[in-house]
Amino acid sequence: MAGNIAVVGAGIIGLSTALTLADRGHSVTVYDPDPVSGATWHAGGMLAPAAEVVYKQDPLFPLMIAAGQWYPELINLTAKHTDKPTGYRTDGTIIVAKDRADKTHLEELQEYQELHGMTTERVTTREARTLEPALHPAIAGAVHIPGDHQVRPRLFAEALIDACRNANVTFIHEAIHDVDELDADQIVLANGLGARETTGWFEGENPLKLRPVYGDMVELRVPEHQRPLADRVIRGFVEDRPIYVIPRDGDGLTLGATTREDNRPDPQAGGVFQLLRDGIEILPAIEDCDIVETHAGARPGSPDDLPYLGRVSDRVVVSTGYFRHGILLAAVGARCGAELVEKQEPSVDLKACDPMRHRRQE
């Protein structure tokens, strides 16, 4: 039965959930004073269930794998309601190692990825440079992951907003501080770090233990004589530091991302320097690129780096805390968020994502 749904938050999670619900016949209103101004605006946009694997985060892997499988549905749903571009590319990912120690790290990571059902292909450095000729000639190792894709988050968000409007979603540019303000049958709390301040659905202390995790990013323009500098996402380990280079349609490259928890919202000189230095180590022609923008975003992290996704009352569903994986996990947040709103069994096991889990642990 169609209902009157309020979605609090207009980042990638809120927008994709709103569009999914509207497409299912619900009347949807999205509340956000400044849509797409948070983590989505600063995201890299890699759809990388294999390359983004982090040791000892096993409960996250089924969500990442499901998200990778479901992402074409979300792209097609967006295209059903708008002709705006999303920056969706399926060129794949190459991970490279700068030196022998980094190569050992890369080999251990590949074993761990395959142990958990990820598909990867070890390639020679010569094969890697055949795929991406601009790679540094002295890289020590390489892995090809054809199934890891990308979107361009700012473009995708614009497309989602247009698709939502075309699907009759209403946007109200207001902050919601208490869910009791909302006249709705169901509420989806998808306002990222803002969920720390949104009341009306719990007693006592807020059970969501969200923290801002900042990441510095650099946007580059490739000189005309070097385009395209890369066709695939290139990830690397440089003296054990992670680096990624994302090619954008046309002449752009995105470098990311550092990780820091210092409550400093502006890009830091040291972080930008690190990204440029390490990027040049794996893709030397970056040295000749123009710097277009530096920026930093706060990603909403939980204590165990798993999202908060689940029903917390008869009226409220929580969908936040996606940390570094918000763009990828939008496919899970949208589908499972809609299923939770409709009080259906989610398509993937969400027990590990229980929004109340950290209160219970206390």
Q: Based on the fold, state whether residues 72 and 160 are members of the same structural domain.
A: yes
Q: Based on the fold, state whether residues 116 and 236 are members of the same structural domain.
A: yes
Q: Based on the fold, state whether residues 142 and 158 are members of the same structural domain.
A: no
Q: Based on the fold, state whether residues 69 and 217 are members of the same structural domain.
A: no
Look at residue 57 in the predicted model and tell me its pLDDT: 87
User: Which of 301, 322, 345 delimits the end of a domain?
Assistant: 301
Token pair 């995105």 in the structure block, residue: 254
Output the domain CATH number for residue 9: 3.50.50.60
In-domain check, residue 40 = yes
Q: Tokens in use for 37? A: 């101004």
Q: Based on the fold, state whether residues 216 and 322 are members of the same structural domain.
A: no
Output the domain CATH number for residue 258: 3.30.9.10
Q: Based on the fold, state whether residues 273 and 185 are members of the same structural domain.
A: no
Number of domains in the chain: 2
Give the integer Cα–Cα distance in Å for 152 and 173.
24
Q: Which of 90, 89, 98 is nearest to 142 (CA)?
A: 98
Q: Which of 223, 224, 195 is nearest to 208 (CA)?
A: 195
In-domain check, residue 362 = no
Q: Based on the fold, state whether residues 242 and 172 are members of the same structural domain.
A: no
Look at residue 1 in the predicted model and tell me its pLDDT: 62
Integer CA distances (angstroms), 30 to 5, 116, 322, in order? 9, 37, 19
Q: Based on the fold, state whether residues 97 and 131 are members of the same structural domain.
A: yes
Structural domain of 194: 4-84+152-209+302-353
Burial of 239 (0-12, 13-18, 19+ CB in 10 A): exposed
User: Which of 260, 275, 301 delimits the end of a domain?
Assistant: 301
Q: Is the pTM of this model over 0.75?
A: yes
Q: Based on the fold, state whether residues 216 and 292 are members of the same structural domain.
A: yes
Q: What is the pLDDT along the chain (362 residues), one digit of tens a residue?
A: 678 999 999 999 999 999 999 999 999 999 999 999 999 999 999 999 999 988 878 899 999 999 999 999 999 999 999 999 999 999 999 999 999 999 999 999 999 999 888 889 999 999 999 999 999 999 999 999 999 999 999 999 999 999 999 999 999 999 999 999 999 999 999 999 999 999 999 999 999 999 999 999 999 999 999 999 999 999 999 999 999 999 998 899 999 989 999 999 999 999 999 999 999 999 999 999 999 999 999 999 999 999 999 999 999 999 999 999 999 999 999 999 999 999 999 999 999 999 999 986 65
Q: Can you tell me whether residue 136 is helix, strand or coil?
A: coil
The answer to whether residues 306 and 356 touch, using CB atoms and an 8 Å cutoff, is no
Give the integer Cα–Cα distance in Å for 324 and 211.
12
Q: Based on the fold, state whether residues 219 and 295 are members of the same structural domain.
A: yes
User: Which of 262, 281, 301 delimits the end of a domain?
Assistant: 301
Q: Based on the fold, state whether residues 296 and 312 are members of the same structural domain.
A: no
In-domain check, residue 359 = no
Q: Based on the fold, state whether residues 32 and 76 are members of the same structural domain.
A: yes
- Amino acid residing at 41: W
In-domain check, residue 16 = yes
Q: Which residues of 59-89 are buried (b: 16+ CB within 10 A; e: fewer)?
A: ebbbbbbbbbebbeebbebbeebbebebbbb
